[in-house]
């Protein structure tokens, strides 16, 4: 198990600043995901950790040792690039054995280790196949096996499933998670895919404007964004502007036009302050009858539209002439409720699922 720290690293290419005093800590035995849009600097971070690119300033610490000026070979880091970079004229066996041969391991050690990892990765029978004869999922497993056979301190993966079809992607992501936990690998995984992040990450960080905008577990960041950027980036569908009209301890009352909401917050805010209110569609309960429950905000709205979203339906409900809430419910529930456009419905939101961000 190994730990990684980046301390105030910066990188610019000419006049374009990509990373700005970025700091990052990845814990031992953790699958940490770096999430960000294309071109935001994710791959630059990986290449800097590997030592294939030199940061302009800052330090790279691996297991408490300053690796900033070490060569890539001295850092002992495994790397799976986006295109896998398998050697097309080498067999599966030789691709996986490459790192051991570079390290001048004996033939017996190479045979033993490669055979074992081929068995562990379900590649038995493919030893003499070439990359062109493999499926996308098989190539991905070969690339990960090649990276892991040298027992690296860390494993870095650069959008490793982006080129795969949907079904193969699901299978490979599940395999990666299983391998990571089984072998106790500290892994840094970069992607632009939010769903992928929620499925894989123990913790993740959102990269924006050269810095990590927010760290945390998927639940913490997804349901409790600290900034408007994070809320918007993670598609928090209901983002409303409100004002604090009452505060007692951590409990606050917010006015959004004619709607009053109550919730709890740890923000340092006062009565009269403006806030951004974030509510996930799945946190809103919709019914066709009035049902007051303790600890819930309850009000009436009118269905404005009903749209299919995958297996669910997105219901847009007018709660004031100028405010709409998006609600996500299953098709079965919608059918049972016999929802139609223009119908009056009752909405309820648990206080715990209303999240506030200080006005920015």
Any idea where the domains of the chain sit in the sequence?
4-231, 236-358
* Ordered alpha helix ranges (H), 149-217: 166-183, 194-200
Angle of helix 166-183 versus helix 136-148 axis, rounded to 10: 20
Tokens standing for 42? 């994710």
Do the beta carbons of residue 154 and residue 49 sit within 8 Å?
Answer: yes
Residue 312 has pLDDT above 70, yes or no: yes
Pure H helices in 76-217? 92-102, 107-120, 136-148, 166-183, 194-200
CATH of domain 4-231: 3.40.50.300
Task: List own/partner pairs for 134-140 with CB under 8 A and 24 or more apart.
Answer: 134/92, 135/168, 136/163, 136/164, 136/165, 136/168, 137/164, 137/168, 137/171, 137/172, 139/84, 139/86, 140/80, 140/84, 140/164, 140/172
Q: Say if residue 292's pLDDT is above 70.
A: no
pLDDT tens by residue, 59-73 = 999 999 999 999 998
Rounded mean pLDDT of the chain? Answer: 90
Query: Pseudo-torsion of CA 108, 113, 115, 118, nearest 10°?
Result: -160
DSSP single-letter state for residue 123 = -
Helix (H, G, I), strand (E, B) or coil at 224: coil
Q: Please report the DSSP string for 201-231 in residue order.
A: -SEEEEEETTEEEEEE-HHHHHHS-SSHHHH
> What is the reported pTM?
0.86
Q: Which tokens sit at 111?
A: 């045979």
Give me the mean pLDDT over the 296-306 stretch: 90
Q: Output b/e per residue, 56-80; b: 16+ Cβ within 10 A.
A: eebebebeeeebbeeeeeebbbbbb
- Average pLDDT, stretch 28-46? 92
User: How far apart, in whole angstroms, are the C-alpha atoms of residue 283 and residue 328?
Assistant: 8
Quote the percentage of the chain above a pLDDT of 70: 98
Q: Among the listed ranges 4-8, 171-175, 276-280, 320-324, which one has the minimum average pLDDT value? A: 171-175
Query: Cα–Cα distance between 76 and 121 in angstroms, integer?
Result: 21
Q: Which pLDDT score, from 0 to 100, does residue 135 have?
A: 87
291: confidence class by pLDDT, cuts 50, 70, 90: low
For the cut 70, the answer to whether the pLDDT of residue 356 exceeds it is: yes
The predicted structure's pLDDT at residue 321:
83
Confidence grade of residue 227 (pLDDT, cut at 50, 70, 90):
very high
Distances (CA, A) of 195 to 61, 211, 248, 255: 30, 21, 37, 33
pLDDT, residue 162, reads 78
Please answer whether residues 92 and 142 qualify as being in contact, where contact means their C-beta atoms are separated by less than 8 angstroms. Answer: yes
Backbone angles phi and psi of 137, in degrees to 5: -65, -40
The residue with tokens 């990509």 is 18
Quick one: average pLDDT of 93-100? 93
Q: pLDDT category, 290, cuts 50, 70, 90?
A: low
Structure-block tokens of residue 172: 């490979």
Pairing of strands 154-158, 187-191: parallel
CATH topology of domain 236-358: OB fold (Dihydrolipoamide Acetyltransferase, E2P) (2.40.50)
Q: To which residue do tokens 């814990």 refer?
A: 27
């Amino acid at each position: 198990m190994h730990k990684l720290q980046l301390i105030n690293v910066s990188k610019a290419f000419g006049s374009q600043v990509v990373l700005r005093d970025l700091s990052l800590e990845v814990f031992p035995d953790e699958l940490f995901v770096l999430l960000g849009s294309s071109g935001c600097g994710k791959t630059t971070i990986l290449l800097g950790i590997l030592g294939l690119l030199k940061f302009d300033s800052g330090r790279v610490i691996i297991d408490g040792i300053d690796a900033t000026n070490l060569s890539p070979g001295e850092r002992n880091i495994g790397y799976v690039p986006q295109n896998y970079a398998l050697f097309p004229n080498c067999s599966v066996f030789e691709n996986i054995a490459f790192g051991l041969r570079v390290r001048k391991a004996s033939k017996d050690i190479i045979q033993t280790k490669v055979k074992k990892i081929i068995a562990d990765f379900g590649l038995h029978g493919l030893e003499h196949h070439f990359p062109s004869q493999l499926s996308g999922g098989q190539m991905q497993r070969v690339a990960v096996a090649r990276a892991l056979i040298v027992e690296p301190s860390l494993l870095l993966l650069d959008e490793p499933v982006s080129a795969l079809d949907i079904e193969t992607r699901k299978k490979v992501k599940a395999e990666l998670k299983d391998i990571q936990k089984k072998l106790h690998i500290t892994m840094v995984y970069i992607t632009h895919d939010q769903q992928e992040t929620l499925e894989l990450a123990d913790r993740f960080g959102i990269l924006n404007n050269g810095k990590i905008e927010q760290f945390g577990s998927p639940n913490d960041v997804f349901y409790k964004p600290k900034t408007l950027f994070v809320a918007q980036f993670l598609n928090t569908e209901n983002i409303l502007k409100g004002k604090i009209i009452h505060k007692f301890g951590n409990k606050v009352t917010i006015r959004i036009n004619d709607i009053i909401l109550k919730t709890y917050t740890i923000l340092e805010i006062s009565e009269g302050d403006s806030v951004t209110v974030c509510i996930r569609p799945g946190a809103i309960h919709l019914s066709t009858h009035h049902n007051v429950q303790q600890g819930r905000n309850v009000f009436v709205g009118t269905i404005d539209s009903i749209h299919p979203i995958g297996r669910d339906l997105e219901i847009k409900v007018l709660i004031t002439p100028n405010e709409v809430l998006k609600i996500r419910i299953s098709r079965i529930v919608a059918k049972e409720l016999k929802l139609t456009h223009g119908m009056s419905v009752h909405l309820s939101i648990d206080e715990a699922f209303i999240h506030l961000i200080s006005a920015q």
